[in-house]
DNA sequence: GCAAGTGCATACTACCGAGTATGTTGTGAA
DNA sequence: TTCACAACATACTCGGTAGTATGCACTTGC
């Protein structure tokens, strides 16, 4: 039964709406301040609909978290393989990451919250496993940047910095977008691109040889 | 009556313990997941003690927030007036900020949460006013950095960057410490200094002329 | 056309947590 | 010594919320 609910995750009927709405609520009010009824009301539905797909509020949150991570990977991984030195590829990855943070503000805000929850007391063993999975995914994401950073150091395009600290600082500067970034009413893709490139340029110039 | 409770804020009897413990709880579990009973239990006391000093959970949170901001100001403002070019002073300020983030991890984690709450629905008009105050204080803190950034651009020690975006990115890289930094068991002041300087150096090198 | 399941809504329960009302004990001033 | 008040503890209330049990229309394979 629970396994069925898990599998429903990626089919695109009412589920995508639930995920999107839940992401909005979690972004605005946080996990524990958001009630299932809040999400349902915003959907124009009732709890029944949500509990039909998700067996608990925590599971719903985790699924939003997972979707947020998937979107980050889909944004960053493709540009990871482009031609160029380490610094060129890293710049492209960071820019893609920043763009994804803005394009999926709600989901990525949940991802940021999820990082905070790493120490959370996940009630059921099943949830604990899911949480550990998410932590591992997050680590893998960070290691993408560390890897290219290292390659940049090796090919001489990046200074000999502390990989781990530099990665955390750069990703921090970008992730911090989820704290202060709010889409302007008449904002275009080009505006976001400009913003992303300015942030990334500062970070890149801090480590380039 | 309420005014009395406000005034008690800075006397140092049991109040400081409440503030410290509350900061710990808010850091670990977040605002809404933390119950007053949680804080009381951790104090080895009961709700009565807390409600004797604070009229609501929100007020307690705001007071922790304010204390966190005060500590940041006390760390950064003194070094703002040192001798040197803009880039030299900015480096000192950022380093002091990073050190304060680590030294007061619990309080600063609450400050970060407070930023998220800017859109919160503060119930009473009194709380709304307090929240607006905190927002203003936060703006003033950010403007300290913007000011020195501008002076650095003017005296030629800093490149001609977008002041607002650069400030947010640099502060973001440092504030992100509250997400991933956890004090190591045998950590010394020197260790933290080393970490702070590495993060700050990357940021400074990104904007220096 | 019917049985079995899907996709919800409705109607509950049980509990937790914020805030309150009311003790109780110490303590300093007069 | 006593009175007033501070500094809590104890014992409640009551609204909100996660989760459940059940009902009900609608579809789909057979």
Q: What was the pLDDT predicted at B12? A: 36
Please report, in angstroms and rounded to a whole number, the separation of the first and last CA atoms in chain B: 56
A46, A48, A79, A62: which is closest to A6 by C-alpha? A62
Domain boundaries, given as residue ranges, for chain A: 57-205
The answer to whether residue A24 neighbours chain B at the CB level (below 8 Å) is: no
- What backbone phi and psi angles, to 5 degrees, belong to B82? -70, 170
Tokens of B54: 């604070």
Tokens of A174: 């970008």
Phi-psi region of B30 (alpha: psi -120 to 50; beta: other; left: phi over 0): left
- CATH class, range B58-205: mainly alpha
Tokens 């002073």 correspond to what residue? B89
Cα A135–chain centre separation: 12
pLDDT in tens, B181-196: 999 999 999 999 999 9
Residue B132, min C-alpha distance to chain A (Å)? 16
B105, B108, B133: which is closest to B118 by C-alpha? B133
Q: Which nucleotides of strand D lie within 7 A of protein CB? A: 6-11, 16-23
Q: Please compute, for residue B168, the number of CA atoms within 13 A of its CA located in the half-sphere on the CB side.
A: 17
D18 C1' – A57 CA distance, angstroms?
A: 8
Task: Show residues of chain B in contact with A165, CB under 8 Å.
Answer: 195, 198-199, 202
Give yes or no for a contact between B153 and B90, defined as CB atoms under 8 angstroms apart.
no
Q: What was the pLDDT predicted at B116? A: 85
Q: Residues near B107 by Cβ (< 8 Å), separated by ≥ 6?
A: B23, B64, B67, B68, B71
A124, A113, A129: which is closest to A22 by C-alpha? A113
pLDDT in tens, A10-55: 333 448 999 999 999 999 999 999 999 999 999 999 999 999 999 9
Q: How confident is the model at residue A124 (pLDDT cuts 50, 70, 90)?
A: confident
The answer to whether residue B198 neighbours chain A at the CB level (below 8 Å) is: yes
Superfamily name with CATH number, domain A57-205: Tetracycline Repressor, domain 2 (1.10.357.10)
Convert B116-155 to b/e letters by CB count within 10 Å (16 or more is b).
bbeebeeeeeebeebbeebeebbeebeebbbbbbebbbee
- Note which residues in 59-88 of chain B have CB less than 8 A from chain A: none
pLDDT in tens, A63-108: 999 999 999 999 999 999 999 999 999 999 999 999 999 999 999 9
Q: What was the pLDDT predicted at B133? A: 93
């Amino acid at each position: 039964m629970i396994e069925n609910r898990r599998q429903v995750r990626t089919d695109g009927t009412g589920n995508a709406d639930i995920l999107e709405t839940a992401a909005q609520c979690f972004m605005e009010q946080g996990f524990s301040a958001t009630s299932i009824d809040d999400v349902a009301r915003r959907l124009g539905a009732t709890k029944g609909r949500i509990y039909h797909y998700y067996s608990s509020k925590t599971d719903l949150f985790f699924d939003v978290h997972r979707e947020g991570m998937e979107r980050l990977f889909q944004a960053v991984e493709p540009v990871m393989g482009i031609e160029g030195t380490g610094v060129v590829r890293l710049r492209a990855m960071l820019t893609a990451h920043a763009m994804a943070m803005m394009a999926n503000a709600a989901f990525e805000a949940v991802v940021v919250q999820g990082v905070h929850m790493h120490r959370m007391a996940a009630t059921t063993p099943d949830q604990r496993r899911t949480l550990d999975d998410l932590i591992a995914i997050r680590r893998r994401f960070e290691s993408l940047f560390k890897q290219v950073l290292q390659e940049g150091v090796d090919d001489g395009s990046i200074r000999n910095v502390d990989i781990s600290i530099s990665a955390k600082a750069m990703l921090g500067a970008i992730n911090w977008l989820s704290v202060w970034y709010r889409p302007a009413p008449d904002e275009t893709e080009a505006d976001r691109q400009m913003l992303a490139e300015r942030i990334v340029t500062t970070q890149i110039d801090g480590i380039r040889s």
